[in-house]
């Protein structure tokens, strides 16, 4: 009898990291009946990824609302998933990482009696306010999950410290590397119109790519980040700083106010996944507060400065593929300039091994599920 699989996600990062799993399950139709449910916690950015990977959801909750808050979103996900779980009756529900969708879907699945499978399990900062609300989302999902697919040995060890049964933990690498390696060649062969326009704008300039959206940086943190970027642009007029600006008004306001008139800063709308991959590959250095970028960039040989005070991905810091700079203006500027000017240090950082995997994470996940 086929095992029934329901894969649930709601944001662009989840969609990117779950896409390889969705596609790989489709090769095992003799063993599994798999369906996809999206909450559309992020609508437009999610749809771009679905289109790129050619994924058509079987269920779409379409929950995104203007000025949505965490309380309403959590309640809506749990309530609306109830009927889908009752109709499909999955044996296994797959959730990913640390979003509100992940936490709420794990609760709803637990209530329904389905086994919960957590992809990218075991990441921890042990600070419930940083990142907020992601750290608690992870911990709640980790308590509920029946099976834990940890990207690294360090993540597995975090779970063991929480008394998770070792036989339920599998170290797989991160599925984001699967997605990246499958996509990068596709992007090179068939560049989008956006890539062609960006390529002309960037010409042969050295590019510093910036992404930033984390809640814990809203307010003073973003003010400091933007001031650092302005200082960096003025100190290094020959570089181009390219910043795809998140749609959140709390990000848009300080970014536009401080950086809009700086000549060598290019502010663009959020990019489709394939365009962002191209831009990462084209960049010299990446400044980010994103978790996914910390994992992806080392596979492209790109040094990363992480603009957060804590990271749940210490493996990258230990491996030397990322540097934690927080929202300290002086540190952001000094570390970026040093990497731009210190060729030996830059090259050494580019050549370090990516601790997050080899692009075979989904294969390991499915092989494990086949044994259950």
14, 76, 120, 275: which is the annotated catalytic residue?
120
Tokens 């992601």, residue? 134
Long-range contacts, 139-142 (Cβ 8 Å, 24+): 140/103, 140/106, 140/107, 141/95, 141/98, 141/102, 141/103, 141/106, 141/116, 142/118
213, 214, 224, 313: which is the annotated catalytic residue?
213
Q: How far is CA 82 from CA 111, 159, 282, in A?
A: 9, 28, 44
Q: Is 120 a catalytic residue?
A: yes
Q: State the pairing for strand pair 285-288/206-211.
A: parallel
What gap in Å lies between CA 201 and CA 243, rounded to an integer? 13
What gap in Å lies between CA 49 and CA 55, rounded to an integer? 8
Q: Is 246 a catalytic residue?
A: yes
What gap in Å lies between CA 79 and CA 94, rounded to an integer? 18
246, 275, 308, 335: which is the annotated catalytic residue?
246
Phi, psi (degrees; rounded to nearest 5) at 15: -60, -45
Instruction: Let me know: does 11 contact 45? Beta carbons within 8 Å.
Output: yes
215, 218, 224, 308: which is the annotated catalytic residue?
215
What gap in Å lies between CA 201 and CA 254, rounded to an integer? 24
Q: Looking at the chain, how many residues does it have?
A: 372
What gap in Å lies between CA 121 and CA 156, rounded to an integer? 8
Q: Is 135 a catalytic residue?
A: no
**DSSP assignment of 71-101, as one string?**
HHHHHHHHHHHHHHHHHH--SEEEEETTSHH
Q: What sign has the CA pseudo-torsion 45, 290, 345, 264? A: positive
42, 76, 124, 134: which is the annotated catalytic residue?
134
14, 76, 98, 309: which is the annotated catalytic residue?
98
Catalytic residues: 98, 120, 134, 213, 215, 246
């Amino acid at each position: 009898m086929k095992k029934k699989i329901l894969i649930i996600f709601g944001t662009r990062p989840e969609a990117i990291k779950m896409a390889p799993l969705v596609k790989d399950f489709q090769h095992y139709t003799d063993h599994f009946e798999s369906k996809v449910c999206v909450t559309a916690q992020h609508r437009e950015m999610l749809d771009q990824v679905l289109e790129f990977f050619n994924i058509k959801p079987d269920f779409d909750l379409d929950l995104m609302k203007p000025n949505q808050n965490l309380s309403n979103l959590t309640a809506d996900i749990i309530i609306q998933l109830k009927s889908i779980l009752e109709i499909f009756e999955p044996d296994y529900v797959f959730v990913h990482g640390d979003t509100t969708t992940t936490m709420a879907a794990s609760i709803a699945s637990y209530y329904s009696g389905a086994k919960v499978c957590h992809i990218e399990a075991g990441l921890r900062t042990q600070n419930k306010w940083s990142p907020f609300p992601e750290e608690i989302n992870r911990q709640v999902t980790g308590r509920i999950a029946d099976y834990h697919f940890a990207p690294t040995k360090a993540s597995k060890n975090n779970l063991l410290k929480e008394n998770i049964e070792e036989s339920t933990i599998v170290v797989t690498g991160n599925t984001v590397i699967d997605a990246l390696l499958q996509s990068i060649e596709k992007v090179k062969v068939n560049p989008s119109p956006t890539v062609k326009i960006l390529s002309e704008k960037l010409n042969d300039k050295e590019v510093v790519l910036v992404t930033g959206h984390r809640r814990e940086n809203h307010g003073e943190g973003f003010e400091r980040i933007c001031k650092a970027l302005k200082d960096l642009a003025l100190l290094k007029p020959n570089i181009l700083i390219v910043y795809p600006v998140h749609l959140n008004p709390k990000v848009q306001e300080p970014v536009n106010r401080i950086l809009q008139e700086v000549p060598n800063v290019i502010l663009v709308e959020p990019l489709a996944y394939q365009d962002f991959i191209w831009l990462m590959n084209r960049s010299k250095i990446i400044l980010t507060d994103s978790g996914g970028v910390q994992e992806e960039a080392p596979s492209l040989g790109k040094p990363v400065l992480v603009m957060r005070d804590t990271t749940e991905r210490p493996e990258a810091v230990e491996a030397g593929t990322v540097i934690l700079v927080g929202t300290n203006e002086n540190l952001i500027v000094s570390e970026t300039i040093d990497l731009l000017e210190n060729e030996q240090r830059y090259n050494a950082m580019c050549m370090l091994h990516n601790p997050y995997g080899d692009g075979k994470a989904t294969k390991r996940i499915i092989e494990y599920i086949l044994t259950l």
